[in-house]
Amino acid sequence: MSPRLLTVAGLVAIMATCAASPPAHQPPDYDAPGKRWREGPVRYLLSRDESMTYRRLGTTGERRTFIQTFWAKRDPDPTTPENEYRTLFYRRVAESDRSLTESTTAGWKTDRGKVYILLGPPDETDATRGPSSIQPDVFLWTYRDPPTHLGLGTNAIIRFARDAGGEYRMTNRAFLSGFESSLGLGFQTQAMLVRSLPEEREVLDALVATHSFPEGPFHSHAGYFHSANGTLVVLTLGARVRLLEEDPSRIPAPARLQTVARLVAEDEPHTTWDLAGPTGLKPDPEGAAPDGSVLFQTGIALPPGRYTAYFAVLDPPSGRHYPHRQTLDVPDLSRIPFSIGPITLAGRIERLPGRSTDYAAPFVLGTIRAVPRLDDRFHNGEEFAFYFPIYGAPADPIDGLPDLDIEYRFAAARSVDSEGHPEFLPLGAPIHLTRQRGRLQAYSLVLKDWQVGTSRLQVIVRDNLEGREAVATMRFHVS
């Protein structure tokens, strides 16, 4: 059996507005009114009659008018200066060129590019390869809920197989005949939903424009994980409900509050990602945490860089919204050597059998459901749980998984040195785990008769394939 590689693709972001081949900030002008406009990416949307009409046009002016009318007819909200339909289409074209180019074929021209442009990022991808293959032989893209008129049903799977020339061809015969026009209708269905959340977008527009972010009842956390489409950023926002409540007799906050966010790239402030509706932050289905906080979470794949995340917690019954802002420094995890990622404290850890995706909002990371804890203070008798990613771990050539030994060491602060820094002494025997095969690790234990004060956790990971070692530490407090 060929080893199976699982990747994150349901969270593919629209990461750039320019294609890979042209210079930065100079994307191709696909809407230039030339004779071959209809042969560009727009061919996926053109009806047969529209294509023939454009072909018969004889002047640049006629072609320019046709193109303007073509997009205007598809504008979901003519009252705004932006044509959201066109913007979404060309963003997907640019992302296809950046990520899905094969050999000398531009990404938008490939079979994967066509499907990505017209159906958007898949909810899951599955890649397989033979024992001697460097590239995957097959990609399987799963769409859990594609447009109903396409007749694909739920959990539709589209298969791309690598041919002798190294390019991936869609092998679903049902799609090969006229699939561009039928999927184009699928894109139109999605694009018309771009403005389906006007209230949330108005709130985000106002939020980004303001410079006032008073201290509010929020705490936020960003986790960074390697994915095939950039760095997976998992955003968690905790809202202390008791500070938001004015009438506790109303609908409970977990069922009432909604959370949206906008990410703004620092070096390209016009490049933004809105997390709302289906991609918005989702609440913890377990309800409020013991400290009265409601947690919301989502994930998105982003290119490395610095971002500002603007959050808004909406309370529809009252019409109020509560702002929060966080700065994100997204690392390039493809370039990080063997190391341990940030250790995240968890309020709850649960292992899930049979999961096939790396992340599912909210709180599911591969085979682990991990609900972050956004403070570092514990009580004796409470469960202490944590999780962390391992970057750069080499894969066993047989099964494609890492081979790791892990050691957890705890220490307690017993005194301070001359400069006032705590000195830690070992607390109990180290915990040893051998032959661990996952790049995401989690552990929990009950703090029984634990010393009150500051404690330290040290994590040591040893790679059995290449003999490397990585160490990370964190502190927490027990009362």
Gap between the Cα atoms of 474 and 155, Å rounded:
41
CATH annotation of 211-335: 2.60.40.10
Mean pLDDT, residues 272-299 taken together: 79
Q: Which two tokens stand for residue 200?
A: 């949330």
Burial level of 148, CB count in 10 A (0-12/13-18/19+)?
A: exposed
> Residue 439 above 70 pLDDT?
yes
> Residue 190 above 70 pLDDT?
no
The pLDDT of residue 55 is 92
CA distance readout (Å), 392 to 7, 432, 451? 15, 21, 35
Residue ranges of the chain assigned to CATH 2.60.40.10:
211-335
Largest Cα span, the chain: 86
| R_g of the chain, CA atoms, integer Å | 25
Mean pLDDT, residues 16-38 taken together: 67
The pLDDT of residue 228 is 61
Q: 248 vs 444, which has greater pLDDT?
A: 444
pLDDT one-digit tens code per residue, 127-185: 877 665 667 788 888 887 666 445 555 667 888 888 888 888 888 654 544 455 555 55
Contact 315, 244 (CB under 8 A): yes
Gap between the Cα atoms of 478 and 360, Å rounded:
32
The pLDDT of residue 273 is 80
Which of the given ranges, 3-12, 53-62, 403-412, has the highest pLDDT on average? Answer: 403-412
**Cβ–Cβ contacts within 10 Å for residue 471, how many?**
13
The pLDDT of residue 189 is 47
Query: Can you give 244-288 as a three-state secondary structure string?
Result: HCCCCCCCCHHHHCEEEEEEEECCCCCCEEEECHHHCEEECCCCC
CA distance readout (Å), 184 to 51, 163, 255, 410? 14, 25, 36, 57
Report the top-level CATH class of 371-479: mainly beta
Confidence of residue 313 (pLDDT cuts 50, 70, 90): confident
Mean pLDDT, residues 271-296 taken together: 78
Computed over every residue of the chain, the mean pLDDT equals 80
Contact 322, 216 (CB under 8 A): yes
Gap between the Cα atoms of 53 and 45, Å rounded:
14
Q: Is the dihedral of CA 76, 81, 84, 89 positive or negative?
A: positive
**Cβ–Cβ contacts within 10 Å for residue 87, how many?**
14
Residue ranges of the chain assigned to CATH 2.60.40.730:
371-479
Gap between the Cα atoms of 176 and 159, Å rounded:
12
Q: 94 vs 418, which has greater pLDDT?
A: 94
- What's this model's pTM, rounded to 2 decimal places? 0.61
> Residue 356 above 70 pLDDT?
no
Confidence of residue 337 (pLDDT cuts 50, 70, 90): very high
Confidence of residue 194 (pLDDT cuts 50, 70, 90): very low
The pLDDT of residue 431 is 97
Gap between the Cα atoms of 366 and 359, Å rounded:
6
pLDDT one-digit tens code per residue, 371-423: 999 889 999 999 999 999 999 999 998 888 899 999 999 999 987 777 778 88
Q: 257 vs 79, which has greater pLDDT?
A: 257
Q: 406 vs 22, which has greater pLDDT?
A: 406
How, if at all, do strands 138-143 and 156-162 pair?
antiparallel
The pLDDT of residue 137 is 83
Within 8 A by CB and 6+ apart from 1, the residues are none
Q: 20 vs 187, which has greater pLDDT?
A: 187
